[in-house]
Structures are given as C-alpha cells and as structure tokens.
Structure 1
Amino acid sequence: MKNLKLTVLLLLALNFVNAQNPEIEWIKQDGGNSDDFGTSITTDENYVYSTGVFYDTCFIGDTVLISNGSYDTYISKYDKKGNFIWVKQFGGTEYDRCTQVLHNNGHILMTGFFGDTHPGQTGFFLLDMDINGAINWIKEIEGQESYYGSALATDAWDNIYLSGCFEDTLSIGGFTLISKGEYDIFITKLDDTGNVIWVNQAGGVGEDISTSITLDKSDNIYLTGSFEDTATFMDTTITSLGYQDIFIVKYNSSGEKIWLKKAGGDWGARASSITINKSGQLFLAGVFGGTTYFGNDSLVSNGMRDIFLARYNLSGTLQWIDNWGSEEHDSSSDLVTDNDFIYFSCRFGGETTLNDTTLTGSTAQIIQLSFAGEIVDYIQLGGYYRNKCTINNSSALFVTGALGPWPDLFGDTILSPSWYGYDAFISRINYGHTGIEESVVFDQHLKIYPNPASTYINIESNEGAVVSILNINGQLIKQYSFVKGLSERSIDISSFPPGLYIVTLQTKNTILSGKMIKH
C-alpha cells in the first residue's frame, strides 16, 4: 500500500510538471525575397523592440522596406499582444547590422557595425532613440581596419557600458587604442548622452573578442568572451589551453579590475552569454569541444561541440556546471532570467536527449531551467538559426531569430519561409509558470510559505492530511502528517539542493499538488 501511494504521488508530480508545457502565444513572420534575420530583442512592460537585417525587399507589419545596397538593419516595435506599431530602417550600400538592442528608462539603445568606411573594413555605431523611434543621438566610433560593438548594459544612473573588439587603431572619446595583434577587446563607460567616461583595453597577439556583459546591483561589471594564446587584462595575463578559451572579468564601476577567470581545453571554448539573477547568482553559457576545464571542474563533450551552462557566485567561484549536446556541432545563443527560472536559447546540430526525451534532427530550443540547473521544460523554435530572447518584469518571454531555409517546427506549428531562404520572426512564449506564488495554498486547508524559500518553510493545516515534498524527478524527499484541527510546523529545508520541488497534499478523499522553489 505504501509503494502504491508513492507511485500515485510520483505520477501526479510528473503529470503536474509536464502539464506546464510552454506554448507560443503569438508569432510574427517578417521577410521578403531574400534572407532576413532577427538579431536582437528587448522589451519594456508593454512593448517589444526587435532588430534584424534584410536584403532587397522585406515586409514587416504593414510596411515594405527596400535595402539601400547590401544588407540593411531594422528595428521594429510590437505591443505585447503582437500588434505591429512601427519599423525603422538604417543602412548604406554595404553590409550593416545591429548586434544588440537594449531598452533603458524610456530610451532604446542600439549598437552594431556598418560597412561604408573603406573597402573590406567596418565601423560601428552607438545610437539612442526614444520609444517612438525618433533618434536622440548617434555616435560613430572611428578607427582603422575593422571594429564593432557587441554588448550593451546600463546602470541605475542611466550610464551606458559598451564592449566590442577592434583591430589596428580605435579612437573613442579622446582615447586612442592600438591592438596588440589581431582583434583586441575594449569596454567603455559613457553617460546617458554618449560622452565617454573611461575606456579599458584587453587582449594579446591572437583574436580576442567580447560577447556579453551584465551588471550586478552594485554596478560591478561582468564581461565575457574568448581569447587566443595569451591575453592581458590590466596587470594580469592569461594563457589559453587550446585554440580558443573563455574569459570572465569583473570590473567595478570605475573600470578597475576585481578578478579574472578563464576556462578552456584542447578543442576550444567560447562564451555566448552572461547574466545575473535578482539573487546575485552569475550564469555563463557557451560552447566547448573535447575536455574543457573550469577551474578544478571539467567537462567532456558528447560530440564535436556541446553547449554548457555554469553558475558562479559574484566572487567568481564556480558553484555548478552542466552540458548537453549531440554528436554534431551545437551552439549557444542567449541567456535570460526571471525571479524563478533561467531561459537558455541554444541549437543542437543532431540527435540530443533532454530529460529522457530524444530530440531528432537539427533543433533550436529555448530551455527553461531552475537556478540549480535542473531542466524544467523546453520548446522548439526552428532548427537552423540561433535565437535571441528577452523577458519583462511580468515574466513574458519574447524571442527573435530566423526560420528556414526549409519548413521549421515552432512549438506545435510548422512555418515556412516566404522563399527558399530565411525569414525573421518575433514570438511570445508562455511557459505557464505563473503558478509560483508567494505561498502554496491547497483548497484553503493547507498553506506553505514563503515561496521561494532558502532556509525554512512554514506549513499551516486545519485538515488531517499527509504533505509530501518531491523533487522534479518525482523522488520523495520529505513527508509530514497533520491531524485534523489547526496546526503549524516550521520545516528546515536548508539541506535541500536548490531547485524546483513538487508539494502534494493527500487527504482521505483527494490528492492535490503545487510547486515550490528552493533557492
């Protein structure tokens, strides 16, 4: 009988988790008679802003865009229900691209590169516009050879942090930087009108690039990217273990280096994204091949290149790391968090297993994970392109990318490009996790709070019942009995691993379940 009850609880818990399948609330397809791609996305509470590139003719909402030469870039605005508001176009006769867009306090910031400099060279820009699409100011960064901005962040005082890479010479705000080899890294702090406050340079003789930047509540800066051979960050030089390794560097708001970490191995590794949740946990995503070392920990890829996800504390100590992958080349694209979960945008090049489910073919996924790294759910959004994502304060997730060159699966829907190439898309995804409430209440007979919790939870019950706590795999962790009549109990959960738990209430006539987060 005891085993039967545990089986019922296990099935109920698993059904509860699986019932939260993510779904596409809406999706908009933008394209024309050539390849079109979504490149970055940002949101405020009511609107979503998406950038991309297009060639020749492109239809976005009710607007027809025609490129000025090669690829032009665009920024579009939709409301949170998917209604088109406006689109703006930028570009010249060469290849132009926005690499990141960011909403900040009623301003839209864009950075990227353009090709109308000298033959074979690129320059980059930083642009500020209002939420109606009117440009407030634009800065063109000058230099020789090629250079571009790749990552943006802002602080509570609306200062802007911009990072990218350059070769040869870069002039920015009265500062002149000279690369030590191929590409070097720069990071600069600007005020809200684009005036440069300080600039830092890092790199060595190889190709060194920055890919992502984030800030903590104290306005410390965390920058990640990759380097080859040796790279110097102020007074510290690091050496790669393989062809290309990962770096994470922390600066204070004055640009002074606090610490520097690296990770890498024999086949190379690259970081794609870095972000911090509201609890001050630092998450890093990227790809690696072969055996790769993260401090004293190591990973071995399943095939040629796997994706990984790692969590650090703000002192740079690795807390956990995990990897997933196929036997082909897999790619990591983006990483965002809300109050309870991580959303990891990635692409698998071949057959992959997630939570005992085998995914076949090339698939682009948005994976939902707990802060402990447990996979909660995932949804396919195409198969051949790396998607970018953003999330607002209400945990609405928005994604942009590209579909094609053949019909692609988006959730349960198959979409086809407008011609035999790629179309851009923008989508809103509902993961159905808004049921993570401040307390878990069962039919007014039992209440568990706070939720999420880190050390203790309080259980109140006025019903004769058995309360069970199971992990996401359905394993029974703890079980408590209550007699009829109001009673309260404080439970120590400090030894529980962080993650998502299922709480069940079993009375004489029913079994109910809810979700609880342990931080």
Structure 2
Amino acid sequence: MKKIFTFCLIMLFFGMNSYSKPAFSIGSIGMEYGKASCVDSKDNVIIAALYQNTINLDPNGDFPLTSAGGVDGVIAKYNKKGEFIWGKGFGGANQSTDVPHGVTVDKDDNIYFCGYFGTAGQTGKTCDFDPSSATNILTSFGGFDAFIAKWNKDGEFIWVRQIANLHDTTEDRAWDLSLDNDGNAYVTGAFKGTMNLGNGISLSAKGNGFNIFLIKYSTSGNVLWAKSVGANISNLFTEGYGTVDVDSEGNLIWLGNFRETCDLNPNGGNSVTSSGQTDIFMIKLNATNGNFIWGYKVGGTQADIVSPGAMRIDANDNFTFTGRFAGTSNFNPKGTNNISGGSMYLASYSKNCDYRFAFAMTSSTPGSGGHRVDYDKNNNILVAGWMRGTTDFNPNGTNNLSSKGTQDIFLAKYDNNGNYIWANNFGAVGNTGSDICAGLAIDSEGSSWLTGQFYGTNADYDPSDSDVLLSTLGQNDCFVLKYDKDGNLWDETTPPIKYLLTVKNGSGSGEYKTGEKVTIKANPAPDGYKFDKWSGDIEYIESKLSEETTATMPAKDIEITANYIIISSVDDNKVNSSIVIFPNPASDYIEINFERWSPSARWTPSLTGEISIYNTLGEYIVTVGARHALPLQRIDVSHLPVGVYFIQIGNYREKFMVVR
C-alpha cells in the first residue's frame, strides 16, 4: 500500500534577551592604562594593562585585585560578550613600575607578553611574574629592564626572560612581539650598552643613542638569535620604538625609528641616512636565522615616527603601519610619493616593500597619532589611536571628526587598498586629559576590541544616539570596548537575520512519497554560516514523527530552527479527508463540525472516541472525549499559549492556530 507524508514547514526564530554591551572601565584612585590586547582561538579577548591600588576586573560582579606596590601589570581574559573569565597581576613590592606593552597567543592559546619593569635611575627593583602562590622574581640591573613572559591559557606561569643591560642604569624597553607557527617568539624594543641574553648570545649598542633590538626565543624561552639596528635615538619615549610581525613564508618584517646614519643590515653593508630628524626603517629578515633580505627607509625633513606595535601583516603578506609625521614626507622607498599636512598617517607595502599607498589623516590641532593596526577576515584594515581637534579620515574625500575633549580615541576602517569605510571617535566632553587607544584586536566576526586610557566624566563610547557613559574613578582609567564590523558598539541583541527554509523539490508543505529524498536549503544562502544538521539530501522514513534542523548564526548568537512535522501517515485513499474547525484562528475555543466530517460514512467517532491536541513539535498536549451525538463539539483552548496546534481524531489530523 502506498503511503504519503504531508509536511508543514514552520520557522521559529530565537534571539538573546540580554542587553549586555562590552563597554566598561577598570579603575582606582590612581592610574590604570590598557596597553595591549589580542584574541584567542575562541574569540576571548586578553587585555594587558597597568594599574595601581585595588581594581575590580569583573564588569558584572566583583573580582578585586590589589597591586603589590607602585604600578603593577595585569593580564585579564574576557569572553566575546565581555564577561570576566580570569585576571591575574604581576609586580614588585618595592614601588617599581611594571608595565606590559605587547600581548599575543599561540595556537594552544598560551599567552606571551612583553614590557618593562623597574624604576628610572635605580637598581634592585623586583618583579614577581608568577601570579600563583609560588614566585618567579626578576631583579632590575638598573633603571628599567625589558622582559618577555609566557603564561598558559588559564594564566598560569610558564617562564619569563629578562632583557637588560647588565652594567648601568640605562632604560631597556620591550615594545612589541609576534609568534611564528611553531610558537617561537620575536620581541623588539630599545636598549643601550651591552645585553648578555644567555645561550652565549649578546648584543652591544652602536653609538651613544638607543638601538632597536630584535630577539628570537624558542617555545621554552631559549634565546636562538639576536639582532640590532644602531638607531641613534636620543628620546626613548617619543622615538625609540620598534614593531615586528611574521609573514606566511616564515619571514619577519621589522620596523623602527632612527636618526642620522645607520646600517639596516645587522651584519653590515646597507647604510641609510635620515632625510632630516627621525625617519622610519623597514627591514625583512629570514625568521629561521635572522639573515638580512632587504632594508629601506621612508621619511621627510622632520620627525616621522612609527608607533610601538603599530605594524601588522595581512593575509597576502602586505604590511601596513601607522604613526605620526610632520611637514612633508616621502613614503615610497623606491620612488616618490609624498604626503603632507602632518598629524598621523597610514602606509602599506607589498612583501617586497613595493609602495601600495600612504595617506595623512590630518588634524587641525597638532599631536594626533596612530597607534595600532589590525585586519579582519576580509583583509580590511582597522587603525586606532588618538586625535586632537578636527581630523579628516578620508583620503579620497572629506569625513571629519571633531574631538569632544582635548584628545579623543578613534577607530577607523579602510579596505585593503586604503579606501575609507568609516571612522568614529570617543571621549568626554570638555576633558583636558590625553585619551589614548593603545590596544586593538580583531576577532573572527570582524569586531574590534579596544583598550587604552581615558580621563574625565561621562565619556560616551556609543556612536549611536544611545549613551554608554564611563567616568574615571581617579586619574586615568583603563577602558575595554568592543565594536562590530560596522563600527557600532557590539550588542548581542542585534535583530536576528531571518532566512526562509524551503523544500527544493516541492513547496513549503506538500505531499511526498515514502522514502523519497527531499532537499532543504536556505533561501537566500546564509553567507558564512552552515547548518549544524541536515545538509544535502534527507531521506524521511515513516517512523520519524518530527525532525529539527538548526542553523547557528555565530555573529549574533542567534538560532534559526525549522521543524518538519509529519502531518499524516495514512493510506492514500484517506489523504483528501479533512476535519472542519471553526473559528480558525481561535482565541478561547474551537468547534469541530461533525455534520461536515467528510469521512463520516466510513468512520464515526464513538462514545469512547478521543480527540487529541499536539503542538508543532509533535508533543502531546491534551485529549478530550468525542461526543458524536452533537453536530458541533466545542473545545476550550483558552489555556493554550499562542501558537500552531494540531487536532487528531483517529488517523485524521487538522491544523489550527491560537491567537490573541
């Protein structure tokens, strides 16, 4: 006997009810400053910051952390919603200043971070890098010493290494770090004098100024090689910066600032001279052994600065960086492409250092600067930093933003060719402090995590008409913010993206033979998403009374569920029979008309007959007795929630809706 299944397609849309927006501050009566950020494989964000006194790391609860003394460092992890996971500090009890400045993760989500510790002009300052009850203490040789440390994904100590001049009180800083696919770490910074790094490797600075170093460490913290450029930098805080990243071929791009004449080849033979004050060097090295591949410089007659940690490599091995400049500068290392106007810039080059583009983001008030660059999955470029006055962020037109205070933070987005997409700035109205965005990290959805420092009261970090206001508790506080790919403050309550699921070889509800293969598809196709279950051909069998397909929308934490309910599984000579229900839709009651009951000649409900009600998931709701003696039978449905239901009498079933 041939059987026919009748299917009804029902779409159910579910959205999150929380109104959580990841926008919060970390503060005390002292100073707090977010210095760097990164995301791990699960889109958790790791924030590296400095702090004083006692801070609360949990924006939705209470997790106090108290410094050991002076200024300590903290590493904190939050999930994609900005919910606290853990936070741990490192520092010394002798009023030292212990600062992280770069942070990244390896493929196992182990955390590497670099920075500096100590006190200017003093020796013997200690810093404990083990956040547990155990200790792993480094002691400064003089002034500030640099470091690189490794913790696991839960914030447990693995190792730390000191990077320092052993003989005087000069200041050594680590600014930026990057990892290769094997977990080897590359850290860059500035130093003077001679550093003995272990494993028989040392570096000696050239000239009297600060040099820029680059050191390779194995996953276990062993020094593998070290290089330096004699940059002749006199002011460590405004010029002595470096930045490094690893390309897909295992080569390094290494940038920094220099004055006068220096040799870009660590082994000699590639000297360049600055065009005026400070210029920018660009070097490519083989990551395996540090061998020189090429080196170039760009700049003008005034100060041209790449910011610390401000360069990153995209999926095509192009590299882009930001910073600040003055006057007119030539950013083409192999020709002439001048930009003018001062303030800050964005510049991009191929893996062979061929010029791609460079442009100024000109401010009406001097002192603006780009600090961080990163990319989304489509190779769009995000740049963050600080701005003063009115700044034009569009290189091909005019898109001005004006600071609310003396200095605001900004986040701008460009395509991979440098074309403007959008830009936003944030700060407190009338604030006279120096707000800075120092950390930028892009997650798998293209959302941007920002951290840095801010001053003032009621700083609004929501670019929409809504207000998300933060105020400092003391001096400067740390902020943590998340914006979506369109520059809106990230909100998990963004309306669901609705897709219509259709049956490819039939209509939304229809008749299909037993064993027939039926293909379902999303229309339109959900770009970037997939069904968790049921893709391709699906074979329905008689024993399946209900099925469910779920398409997960990870960008917004939204689930779209389609339920395919078997309406009937009966002999085909009964398919056209029906149950007459009135009213339909109903709110309080429904009536079944037995006089118009089409199969009455073949089947009549007896006094013991039953009328059953099911929901769309095939779940039994209630059964009432069938009263055949009456032409109409009324059934109370006032207790049923709004929705779609099915009446079943014997082998016959009919749909009705409850509305109010």
Normalising by structure 1, we get a TM-score of 0.76
Among candidates 297, 311, 319, match of residue 348 of structure 2: 311
Quote the offset at 1:94 in angstroms: 1.0
**Number of the residue aligned with 2:619:** none
Distance 1:394 1:140 in 2: 36
**Number of the residue aligned with 2:417:** 372
**Number of the residue aligned with 1:508:** none
2:54 is equivalent to residue 57 of structure 1: yes
Quote the offset at 1:432 in angstroms: 4.0
Q: 2:146–2:162: 8 Å Cα contact kept in structure 1? A: yes
Equivalences for 1:354-393 in 2 at 5 Å?
A: 354-355=393-394, 356-361=398-403, 362-382=407-427, 384-387=434-437, 388-393=439-444
**Number of the residue aligned with 1:430:** 484
**Number of the residue aligned with 2:163:** 141
Q: 1:112–1:149: 8 Å Cα contact kept in structure 2? A: yes
The secondary structure found in structure 1 opposite 2:315 is: coil
Q: 2:326–2:343: 8 Å Cα contact kept in structure 1? A: yes
2:434 is equivalent to residue 399 of structure 1: no
**Number of the residue aligned with 2:389:** 350
Among candidates 173, 181, 190, match of residue 217 of structure 2: 190
Distance 1:373 1:196, change over 3 A: same
Distance 1:379 1:335 in 2: 15
2:262 is equivalent to residue 262 of structure 1: no
Distance 2:194 2:383 in 1: 35
**Number of the residue aligned with 1:242:** 276
Q: 1:206–1:229: 8 Å Cα contact kept in structure 2? A: no
Distance 1:76 1:433 in 2: 24
Q: 2:339–2:359: 8 Å Cα contact kept in structure 1? A: no
| Deviation string, structure 1 residues 64-113 (Cα, Å, up to 9, x no partner) | 22223321111111111111111111111211100111111221001110
Distance 2:220 2:281 in 1: 30
Distance 1:422 1:336 in 2: 25
Distance 2:524 2:469 in 1: 44
Gap runs ≥5 in structure 1: 1-22, 435-442, 452-519
| Deviation string, structure 1 residues 352-406 (Cα, Å, up to 9, x no partner) | 2345343223332110100111111122243732211111233232111122134
Equivalences for 1:213-228 in 2 at 5 Å?
A: 213-228=244-259
Quote the offset at 1:414 in angstroms: 5.0
Quote the offset at 1:312 in angstroms: 0.7
Counterpart amino acid of 1:226? N
**Number of the residue aligned with 1:96:** 98
Distance 2:331 2:454 in 1: 34
Q: 1:379–1:411: 8 Å Cα contact kept in structure 2? A: no
Distance 1:414 1:81, change over 3 A: closer
Q: 2:446–2:485: 8 Å Cα contact kept in structure 1? A: no
2:334 is equivalent to residue 337 of structure 1: no
Distance 1:257 1:209 in 2: 21
The secondary structure found in structure 1 opposite 2:400 is: strand
Counterpart amino acid of 1:408? A
Distance 1:280 1:24 in 2: 37
Quote the offset at 1:420 in angstroms: 4.7
**Number of the residue aligned with 1:111:** 114
Q: 1:166–1:184: 8 Å Cα contact kept in structure 2? A: yes
Quote the offset at 1:204 in angstroms: 4.4
Distance 1:45 1:382, change over 3 A: farther
| Deviation string, structure 1 residues 250-279 (Cα, Å, up to 9, x no partner) | 101220111111111122100121111112
Q: Which moved more, 1:116-125 or 1:177-186?
A: 116-125
Distance 1:405 1:35 in 2: 13
Q: 2:321–2:347: 8 Å Cα contact kept in structure 1? A: yes
Distance 1:428 1:104, change over 3 A: same
Distance 1:109 1:251 in 2: 22
**Number of the residue aligned with 1:39:** 35
Distance 1:58 1:288, change over 3 A: same
**Number of the residue aligned with 1:212:** 243
**Number of the residue aligned with 2:612:** none
2:148 is equivalent to residue 126 of structure 1: yes
Q: 2:460–2:470: 8 Å Cα contact kept in structure 1? A: no
Quote the offset at 1:335 in angstroms: 0.2
Distance 1:354 1:319 in 2: 18
Q: 1:367–1:379: 8 Å Cα contact kept in structure 2? A: yes
2:261 is equivalent to residue 230 of structure 1: yes
Distance 1:32 1:40 in 2: 19
Q: 1:129–1:137: 8 Å Cα contact kept in structure 2? A: yes
2:284 is equivalent to residue 281 of structure 1: no
Distance 1:299 1:183 in 2: 28
Distance 1:266 1:406 in 2: 40
Normalising by structure 2, we get a TM-score of 0.60
Counterpart amino acid of 1:130? N
**Number of the residue aligned with 1:70:** 70
Counterpart amino acid of 1:125? F
Distance 1:350 1:267, change over 3 A: same
| Deviation string, structure 1 residues 178-219 (Cα, Å, up to 9, x no partner) | 212221111111110010111112114444734211111111
Among candidates 28, 45, 53, match of residue 48 of structure 1: 45
Distance 2:317 2:28 in 1: 43
Distance 1:316 1:394 in 2: 30
Distance 2:426 2:201 in 1: 43
Distance 1:326 1:204, change over 3 A: closer
Q: 2:245–2:311: 8 Å Cα contact kept in structure 1? A: yes
Gap runs ≥5 in structure 2: 1-18, 125-141, 429-433, 489-501, 503-520, 529-660
Q: 1:108–1:129: 8 Å Cα contact kept in structure 2? A: yes
Q: 2:28–2:474: 8 Å Cα contact kept in structure 1? A: no
Quote the offset at 1:447 in angstroms: 10
